[in-house]
Amino acid sequence: MKCNACWRELEGQAITTTCGHVLCTEDAKKILSNDGACPICDQVLSKRSVINS
pLDDT in tens, 7-50: 999 988 899 998 999 999 999 999 888 878 998 999 998 877 67
| Whole-number Å distance between alpha carbons of 8 and 5 | 8
pLDDT at position 3 is: 96
> Does domain 14-52 match CATH 3.40.50.720?
no
Domain assignments of the chain as residue spans, ordered by start: 14-52
What strands, in cross-sheet order, belong to the sheet with 50-52? 22-24, 14-17, 50-52
3-state secondary structure the chain: CECCCCCCECCCCEEEECCCCEEEHHHHHHHHHCCCECCCCCCECCHHHEEEC
pLDDT band at 53 (very low <50, low <70, confident <90, very high): low
